[in-house]
Chain A
Amino acid sequence: MIEAETHLKALMLRGLAGDAGAHRAFLTAVSGNLRAFLRARLRTAPEDAEDLLQETLIAIHTRRDTYDPAYPVTAWIYAIARYRLIDHWRRRQRRGEHIPVEDARELFTASEDEAVDARRDVTKLLAMLPQKQRDSIRLVKLEGVSVKDAAAQIGLSESDVKISTHRGMKTLMRLMAEAET
């Protein structure tokens, strides 16, 4: 996310200086991030997510002159997106519609970065395991496939998958403990 911040900020500043190409690249990059952010929070209404994305992009574009380079650009962008999202829910609520719990719960996740970091950490750690263990854990633990189906997919016996998952998990625990110290 730090990389994204540096990259986005550079594009934003060049766009502000009048570089239309940089501004377009900035908006495109932002729309990719925000689409994922909004869709995750509007799982029950994906078409609303696209509308909100466009509203947010317009808000970012028309207010870009008030952005202060001394502050992180990602914080600025997500604050605007979060505001548009809350405003959207408020409008729906006034119309007497209920907000699905699974959508609202997403609002309380502390930061978008945390989820991304966690996902990246798991991927990185998994890459350190032998192929057999990695596949077993990915299917059984991350994708929720049954041991039987996983065995069929990888081409191992069921007990092999169980043992690989178990060993792999133990190794992962050790790696994470090492990473923390």
Chain B
Amino acid sequence: MKTDDLIDALARDSETPRTGLAPRLAFALIVGLLLATGLLLAFFGMRPDIGAARMMVMMKAGFAALGAGVVLPLLLQLAKPGRAPGWRIAAIGGFVLLCAGVVAAALLGGDPSERFELWMGGAFPWCVVIIPLLATPTAALLGWLVRDLAPTRLTMTGAALGAVSGGIGAMAYAMYCPVDSAAFVATWYAVAIALCAVIGAVAGQKLLRW
């Protein structure tokens, strides 16, 4: 096909492009959260004392939502061609500092003999494994959306996409997570989200190509 003919064909195709970004983004995030919750209920179930502990569950889910929220502007910026990340990286740095502050305050305020227990939650932090699993539906939905935006830096975009998905996965995980220590949550939820970012960076190089 000659390029001039292609231009003719494209110019004739005046059909209004797809639905806007905001509804598709909302769809990806909400459906991703619902699917993650479904996975959680199917394989792990809710924590038995969910009624009594609902304040803690809400706070942990809120923390996870904040984690997703601070990375979302970066993802949307990277997903479009030719945009510099700018302040959006600093927002993530701010979140990491907040996590460090929460951990420090919680540990220094507690009894020294209990510090390790408060920090580790008394067992292996399974959230680091489970949150990435719960993040996969959101990652797939966001990937479908982001590819349409033509990202040109796939590794960075994949990392941001992974982190946002990790935050959504962590929101669902909060309904199961039995540990309520602030030092635990601010450490291991953040580590789980960072791990999702690493997985996203590696997978993004291949899966986000368009």
Contacts and interface: CB of A to CB of B under 8 A. Distances in A.
Interface of A: 18, 20-21, 23-24, 27-28, 31, 35, 50, 53-54, 57-59, 61-68, 71-72, 75-80, 82-83, 87
A54 B3 contact: yes
A83 to B, nearest CB: 4
Contacts of B11: 20-21, 23-24, 27
21 contacts: A20-B11, A20-B12, A21-B11, A24-B11, A27-B7, A27-B10, A28-B7, A31-B7, A53-B3, A57-B10, A63-B149, A65-B16, A65-B17, A66-B149, A66-B150, A76-B80, A76-B82, A78-B82, A79-B81, A79-B82, A83-B81
B83 interface: yes
Interface range on chain B (Cβ under 8 Å from partner): 20 to 34
Interface of B: 1, 3, 6-8, 10-14, 16-18, 20-21, 80-83, 148-150, 152, 209-210
Contacts of B149: 63, 66
A111 B17 CA distance: 30
A23 B14 contact: yes
Contact of B150 (A50, A57, A63, A78): A63
> Lowest 10 A-B CB distances belong to which pairs?
A79-B82, A65-B17, A24-B11, A79-B81, A75-B82, A83-B152, A61-B10, A27-B7, A79-B152, A76-B82
Contacts of B150: 59, 63, 66, 80, 83
Nearest to A53: B3
A78 B82 CA distance: 8
A68 to B, nearest CB: 7
Contacts of B14: 18, 20, 23
B7 A71 contact: no
A80 B210 CA distance: 11
Contacts of A75: 81-83
A65 B18 CA distance: 8
Contacts of A80: 81-82, 150, 152
Contacts of B82: 71-72, 75-80
A31 B2 CA distance: 12
Contact of B6 (A21, A57, A63, A79): A57
Contacts of A64: 17
A159 B16 CA distance: 67
Contact of A58 (B6, B8, B17, B209): B6
Nearest to A74: B82
B83 A54 contact: no
A98 to B, nearest CB: 21
